Amino acid sequence: MRALFASLLAIFCGLVTGSALASVFLTFALRRDILTMDVLLHARSVAAGVWGTQPYLTGHLIVAGVVAVFVVISIVTVIWDRLVSYGERRFQSLSSLRKNRMINAPGYGFVLGEQITPPAQRPDRPIKVKARHRILDRALPFRTRRLRYVASLYSTVSNVLMIAPTRSGKGVGFVIPNALTFPGSMVVLDVKGELWDETARARQRMGDAVYRFAPLDFEHPTHQYNPLARLLDIEDMEELWTGLERIAQLFLQSDGKQDWLEGSILLFVAAGILAVQRGNPTMGEIYRILFGTGQGEDLGKSSADLLHAAARECKYPPAAREFSTKASLDAKIQQSYISILNVAGLAQWANPRVERVTRRNDFDFTQMRRTPASVYLVVQSEDIERLNSLIRLFFADLISFLRSSKPKDDEPWPIFMLLDEFDQLGHMPLMVQAMKQTAGHGGRFAIITQSVPGLLSIPYTPEEVKAIESACQVKLYISASEDFTAGELETALGTRTGATVSRTREMTDVGFGAGSVTRSTEHRPLLSKQEIRDMDPDKIIILPERQNPILANRIKYYESAEILKIHAAQEGQSYPFPPADPSEKTMTMTDVRAAVAAAQEKDAETALTTEAAIVEIRSAKTAASVAPRVKKVVKPKPDGTLTEAGQAALLGMAQDIEGQLSQTTKRLTEEV
């Protein structure tokens, strides 16, 4: 810009100076009086259309030469004045955005922001990212400028990384607009259920089959998801074993106990084999195999007893061997394996609600490229850590399908996976790999995290964090106030060439003397960390791959006419909740108390029956004889012990009583 301005000024000055010199030449050439010379003589000849005749042609050449000299001097001056260049990074203008195909209507690409004119960029001043004049915008009944969306085409961008802290407007500015406009299937982690409330009916209007999987929502019915359902159709036992191992490695995590975890995974695989053998491949069945049912014969059984019973029941030798091996270990070692399996993620299925909603599959990931569908995994923010194993397994199941095959001719729909609060889901190395590999398989990712350090604390390694960032063709920053993230953004924005001016002046006895002015260039970031922190909260920074950064306004879907139109069209339509299943009535506290009362009543009846039986046995032995007794002369009782006959009679009586008590107890037990 500076060179262009200097060139235009040089042309103007060259024309004026050259025209004056040409007028002097024409005055001499035409033998006119120099004292009455007309400075505009050359200009009048041009206006009169005199071009090719001499001496006017020579005058025109003089003007052209002077202009050329001025232009060369101006360009050299600008280049020389710049000294050293430290970069030319700048925010993209409208023409640059159009050239890079970043101005598109919603539905053609990921909607990122609203286009604005970039701020002025001068080498001697910082860039000021000012707020909009909101009062004027609200007062006027029309927009003061045309609304254009910054949107990256789905054909060129498959993954987006959004870094935005809590309460920064990521929902209204990115999540909801893209959920309303994405033309394909969608699977989202819906924290708090807001996305379901704002977009589910619109997705249904678009023709999607809409599902709501809310494991811990007790107010509304939920669809169900069983991550092991597809294992029931596997006939090859080696393939089944391998599939269970993969599933275990996807969701079981234990920090610092990897050696123990490997043994626990083998135990999980064996339990999975037995669950499939029973015809009930669910996580709840695996939990019951390892920890018991909590009722009937399982009450009071130790872990060794449960494992021995599973080994006897399982008819696949490798799985039975694993059960038997773990059952024969020392009790403490055996308990360590089971405890690690519990802590690593299986404990989530101890919750009867989680176990119940994972018994069957109401939706099929393998059909989502063929028939558009939207699946909302609704979890409250305080429940994410409690359900992180289930969430990891949920998305890992979808990713495994995407990686297994490319879309066929009858599978035209891409699948958009939106993961909010990504840093709370735990370590998911499969996700890092999938973001690089599934673009050609119809996968589209939007990863939302609060900060980069949040990813490092999961823990993802620095190399994995870089892999996530490099796999995303577009990075979007909203309110990057955290120091590490602001520093990373400063580096990512790049540098520009700044200018500094130093003035010096000598002091003499009679005043100021000679002075000097020194101009120099310096390395200056496009935006410093402090400038990033002080940005208007309605401004966002977009970093497309291999392009200059973009400064844009944050979208508010309720103020954006085109997106608001889609949102408003769903008003009055009922939410697509699944129908309630009356057969899935859960146990209530009233039922528990009734069971307690029934058990107490039965115990009381058992005690009374036992007591009556004992009294009956005793009375039978002490009853009077029917035959009249003949009075005999009583002989004096001899001193000493009983005779052998007396001891035999007493022993016989004791044995009879013991036998009758045993028969009575057995009969009462059978009745109970």
Residue 351 in domain: yes
| 264 and 246 together in one domain | yes
pLDDT in the model for residue 215 = 94
Q: How far apart are CA 185 and CA 208, in angstroms?
A: 7
| 251 and 237 together in one domain | yes
Written as one letter, the residue type at 145 is: R
pLDDT in the model for residue 212 = 96
pLDDT in the model for residue 373 = 96
Provide the percentage of residues in the chain whose pLDDT is more than 70: 85
What rounded mean pLDDT belongs to the chain? 83
**Which pLDDT tens digit goes with each residue over 270-321?**
999 999 999 999 999 999 999 988 887 777 788 889 999 999 999 999 999 9
Does the pLDDT value for residue 255 go beyond 70?
no
Residue 145 in domain: no
Residue 184 in domain: yes
Region of 256 on the Ramachandran plot (φ > 0 left; ψ -120 to 50 alpha; else beta) = left
Three-class SS state of 518: strand
Residue 240 in domain: yes
| 176 and 250 together in one domain | no
CA distances from 384 to 138, 388, 512, 613 (A): 39, 6, 72, 58
| 297 and 398 together in one domain | no
Full domain range(s) for residue 18 = 2-82
| 181 and 193 together in one domain | yes
| 205 and 266 together in one domain | no
CA distances from 210 to 109, 187, 203, 573 (A): 22, 10, 7, 14
Does the pLDDT value for residue 662 go beyond 80?
no
Residue 451 in domain: yes
Locate 172 and state its tokens.
Answer: 């209204």
| 287 and 351 together in one domain | yes
Residue where a domain stops, chosen among 36, 59, 82: 82
| 38 and 74 together in one domain | yes
Residue 651 in domain: yes
Which residues fall within 8 angstroms of residue 360, CB to CB, at 6 or more apart? Answer: 224, 226, 229
| 221 and 238 together in one domain | no
CA distances from 90 to 104, 114, 479, 598 (A): 21, 18, 20, 78
- What's the whole-number mean pLDDT along residues 460-471? 86
**Which pLDDT tens digit goes with each residue over 96-118?**
999 999 999 999 999 999 999 88
pLDDT level of residue 240 (50, 70, 90 thresholds): very high
Residue 214 in domain: yes
| 220 and 233 together in one domain | no
pLDDT in the model for residue 279 = 92
**Which pLDDT tens digit goes with each residue over 555-586?**
999 988 899 999 999 998 999 998 887 777 77
Q: What is the pTM of this model?
A: 0.75
pLDDT in the model for residue 527 = 86
Could you give the angle at the alpha carbon of 233 between the alpha carbons of 231 and 235, nearest 5°? 95
Range with the poorest average pLDDT among 318-332, 343-357, 480-494: 480-494
**Which pLDDT tens digit goes with each residue over 396-438?**
899 988 988 899 999 999 999 999 888 888 778 888 888 888 8
CA distances from 214 to 117, 217, 395, 419, 423 (A): 43, 5, 15, 15, 20
| 457 and 339 together in one domain | no
Locate 123 and state its tokens.
Answer: 């080498």
Residue 510 in domain: no
Higher pLDDT, 543 or 514: 543
Q: Specify the DSSP class assigned to residue 103.
A: B
pLDDT in the model for residue 641 = 59
Residue where a domain stops, chosen among 326, 355, 384: 355
pLDDT in the model for residue 256 = 61
Report the domain count for the chain. Answer: 4
Residue where a domain stops, chosen among 312, 333, 355: 355
| 339 and 257 together in one domain | yes
Helices assigned H by DSSP within 129-229: 134-139, 170, 176-181, 194-205
Q: How far apart are CA 307 and CA 312, in angstroms?
A: 9
pLDDT in the model for residue 124 = 64
Q: What is the CATH number of the domain that holds 408?
A: 3.40.50.300
Could you give the angle at the alpha carbon of 392 between the alpha carbons of 380 and 400, nearest 5°? 140
